């Protein structure tokens, strides 16, 4: 699935000539990534949310699991485990041990569109199909698979991918999810300090920079949401359709990319507009992940006979 190895000739897909990448969806760019990994060891475009964002989503979800669902999660993982500790596993293996999972992290919908077309935007190839398809497969694999390793890996993918499709720019095909839309970060955020590693493209800003400029640790971000957004929006857990999640996020990507061009300076005004959306999307993802797991794991599954 993804080839174990690090970086050598290409440090990331962004190091490739921009003329080659501009306008590509990630499914197409993934072919370039896979080739680069096999010949040199590339990391590819940024992953949705960074480790911090995925840990936030997983922790919010775990705190809301029913006793039965939590017991089943522990059984699948083989003991006591924090879901946050495995939340980024899918990114760790995406370019090394499991390249067939590459496309599971996003849904390539053209920015100008308002609808999802599974035929053109979730077609299967050697790098997988899309996030929606993998989430839809997960229920059977997590509850009914006879192979314990398959159940474990499917749960790890679900924990990660539910977070992925709540990151707005993982629902956009244009410029590889805006990985090639280079920007300059000039906001200090709530920590009131210039970013040490500012995102150099719009996708990376949404993956990590906004979160890192809000709190110094992901656990503090969770506590911040617990004291505010999560208290106010319990209804978010009632929407359990991954297509609806994707289109919600896609609309936000349209909103937050409007007026952003190559070289745009993202200042405090942009941060102040983006932060409530990041809070919302992380909160929604955590609540919905918990709701899905509670529904799937709290009752005996109706598995087909072998």
Q: For residue 271, what are the contacts with CB-CB under 8 A and spacing of at least 6?
A: 187, 189, 210, 213
Give me the pLDDT at residue 45, please: 53
CATH homologous superfamily of 47-297 equals P1 Nuclease (1.10.575.10)
- Cα dihedral 189→54→289→101 (10° resolution): 140
pLDDT means per 10 residues, the chain with 306 residues, are: 28 33 49 48 57 98 97 95 97 94 96 97 97 96 95 98 97 88 95 86 95 97 98 92 98 97 96 98 98 92 72
Identify the DSSP state of 48: S
Contact assessment for residue 209 and residue 252, using Cβ atoms and an 8 Å cutoff = no
pTM score: 0.86
Query: Can you tell me the distance from the alpha carbon of 167 to that of 187, in angstroms, rounded to the nearest whole number?
Result: 20
- Beta strand 265-266 pairing with 184-185: parallel
Give me the pLDDT at residue 102, please: 96
Give me the pLDDT at residue 25, please: 55
Give CA separation, 305 vs 144, 199, 301, in Å: 10, 50, 12
**Token match 């990994």: residue?**
37
Give me the pLDDT at residue 82, please: 96
b/e sequence 29-46, b meaning 16+ C-beta within 10 Å: bbebbbebbeeebbbbbb
Query: Can you tell me the distance from the alpha carbon of 174 to that of 160, in angstroms, rounded to the nearest whole number?
Result: 22
CB-side neighbour CA atoms (13 Å) of 115: 4
Closest Cα partner for 37 from 103, 110, 95? 95
- Cα dihedral 45→48→53→55 (10° resolution): -90
Per-domain residue ranges of the chain: 47-297
Give me the pLDDT at residue 12, please: 35
Give me the pLDDT at residue 16, please: 35
b/e sequence 281-302, b meaning 16+ C-beta within 10 Å: bbbbbbbbbbbbbbebbeeeee
């Amino acid at each position: 699935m993804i080839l174990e190895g690090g970086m050598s000739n290409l440090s990331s897909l962004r190091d490739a000539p921009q003329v080659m990448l501009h306008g590509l969806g990630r499914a197409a760019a993934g072919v370039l990534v896979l080739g680069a990994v096999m010949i040199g060891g590339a990391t590819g475009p940024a992953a949705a949310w960074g480790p911090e964002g995925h840990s936030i989503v997983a922790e919010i979800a775990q705190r809301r699991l029913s006793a039965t669902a939590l017991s089943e999660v522990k059984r699948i993982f083989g003991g006591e485990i924090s879901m946050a500790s495995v939340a980024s596993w899918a990114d760790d293996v995406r370019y090394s041990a499991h390249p067939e999972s590459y496309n599971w992290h996003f849904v390539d919908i053209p920015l100008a569109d308002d609808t999802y077309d599974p035929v053109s935007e979730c077609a299967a190839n050697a790098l997988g199909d899309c996030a929606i398809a993998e989430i839809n497969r997960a229920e059977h694999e997590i509850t009914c698979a006879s192979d314990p390793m398959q159940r474990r890996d499917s749960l790890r993918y679900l924990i990660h991918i539910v977070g992925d499709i709540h990151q707005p720019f993982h629902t956009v095909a244009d410029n590889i999810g805006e990985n090639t839309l280079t920007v300059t970060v000039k906001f200090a955020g709530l920590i009131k300090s210039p970013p040490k590693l500012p995102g150099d493209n719009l996708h990376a800003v949404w993956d990590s920079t906004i979160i890192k400029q809000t709190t110094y640790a992901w656990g503090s971000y969770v506590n911040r949401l617990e004291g505010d957004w999560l208290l106010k929006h319990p209804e978010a857990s009632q929407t359990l359709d991954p297509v609806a999640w994707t289109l919600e996020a896609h609309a936000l990507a349209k909103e937050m990319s409007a007026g952003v061009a190559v070289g745009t300076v993202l200042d405090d005004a942009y941060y102040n507009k983006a932060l409530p959306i990041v809070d919302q999307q992380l909160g929604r993802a955590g609540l919905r992940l918990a709701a899905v797991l509670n529904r799937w794991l709290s009752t005996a599954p109706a598995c087909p006979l072998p």
